[in-house]
Structure 1
Amino acid sequence: MTDLLYSGTEDDLRSAVRSLLTDRCGAPELLAAVEAGTPGDLRLWPALASDMGLAGLLVPEKLGGQGATHREAAVVLEELGRSVAPAPYLTSSVVATEVLGGLGARNEAAAELLATLASGECVAVLAVPLTTEPGSVPLLPGLSGTVSGVADAAAAQVLLVPTDDGLYAVGARDPGVTVEPLVPLDLTRPLAAVTLDGAQGTLLAGARDARAALDRGLLAGAGLLASEQLGLAEWCLEETVRYTRERHQFNRPVGGFQALKHRMAQLWLEIVSARAAARNAADALATDSSEKALAVSVAQAYCSRVAVHAAEECIQLHGGIGMTWEHPAHLHLKRAKSDAVAFGSAGAHREALALLVDLPGPDSA
Structure 2
Amino acid sequence: MTMELTEERLALREVVGDLLALTPPEKVWPRLCGEIGAAGLAIPERYGGAGASLLETHIVLEQLGRTLTPTPLLGSAVLAAQALLLTSPAAAERLLPGIADGSQVAALAWAGADGRWDVPAVTASDGTLRGTAHYVLDGDTAGILLVATRDGALYEVDTADPAVTRTAVTTVDLTRRLAVVELRGAAGRRLGPCPLAHLRDIACVALSAEQVGAAARALELTVEYTRTRVQFGQPIGAFQALQHRLADLHILVESARSASYAAASALVAGAPETPALAAVAKVHCSETLQAVAAEMIQLHGGIGITWEHDAHRYFKRAHGAAHLFGHPRDHVTRLSTLLPTPTPGTP
TM-score (norm 2): 0.91
**Residue 196, structure 1, aligned to residue 183, structure 2:** yes
* Offset at residue 138 of structure 1 (A): 3.1
Written as runs of structure 1 = structure 2, the 5 A alignment for 1:119-198 is 119-129=101-111, 135-141=118-124, 142-163=128-149, 166-198=153-185
Deviations 1:265-297 (A, max 9, x none): 110011111111000011111111111111101
Q: Are residues 1:310 and 2:310 paired?
A: no
List structure 1 runs of 4+ shifted beyond 4 angstroms: 130-135
Aligned to 1:230: 212
**Structure 2 residue 332 is the aligned partner of structure 1 residue 345:** no
> Residues 109-128 of structure 1: matches in 2 within 5 Å?
109-128=91-110
Q: How many residues align?
A: 337
Structure 1 unaligned spans of 5+: 31-41, 361-365
> Is the CA contact (8 Å cut-off) linking 1:13 and 1:75 kept in structure 2?
yes
Q: How far is the alpha carbon of 1:44 from its aligned partner?
A: 2.4
1:20 equivalent in structure 2: 19
Report whether the alignment pairs 1:45 with 2:45: no
Deviation at 1:137, TM superposition (A): 2.9
Choose from 78, 84, 93 the match for 1:94: 78
Q: Secondary structure at the match of 1:340?
A: helix
User: For residue 33 of structure 1, what is the aligned residue in structure 2?
Assistant: none
Q: TM-score, normalised by structure 1?
A: 0.87
Q: Please give the alpha-carbon distance, in whole angstroms, between the structure 1 residues aligned to 2:175 and 2:123.
A: 28
| CA distance in structure 2 between the aligned counterparts of 1:138 and 1:176, rounded to whole angstroms | 16
Match of 1:35 in 2: none
Deviation (angstroms), 1:242: 0.8
Name the structure 1 match of 2:202.
Answer: 220
Unaligned 5+ runs, structure 2: 343-347
1:47 CA drift (Å): 1.8
* Matched residue SS, 1:244: helix
Relative to structure 1, the CA distance from residue 327 to residue 272 in structure 2 (aligned partners, 3 Å threshold; closer, same or farther) is: same
Query: Given the alignment of the two structures, is residue 72 of structure 1 paired with residue 72 of structure 2, yes or no?
Result: no
Which among 217, 224, 246 is matched to residue 242 of structure 1?
224
Q: Distance in 1 between matches of 2:166 and 2:246?
A: 43
User: Shift of the alpha carbon at 1:308?
Assistant: 0.5
Alignment of 1:255-334 (within 5 A): 255-334=237-316
Partners in 2 of 1:294 and 1:264 — Cα distance?
29
Moved more, 247-256 or 264-273: 247-256
Q: Quick check: 1:224–1:281 contact (8 Å CA) kept in 2?
A: no
RMSD: 1.9
- Aligned-pair identity (%): 41
Q: Distance in 2 between matches of 1:237 and 1:312?
A: 11
Task: Give the aligned partner of residue 85 of structure 1.
Answer: 69
**1:229 Cα deviation after fit:** 0.7
Q: Which SS does the other structure have where 2:180 is aligned? A: strand
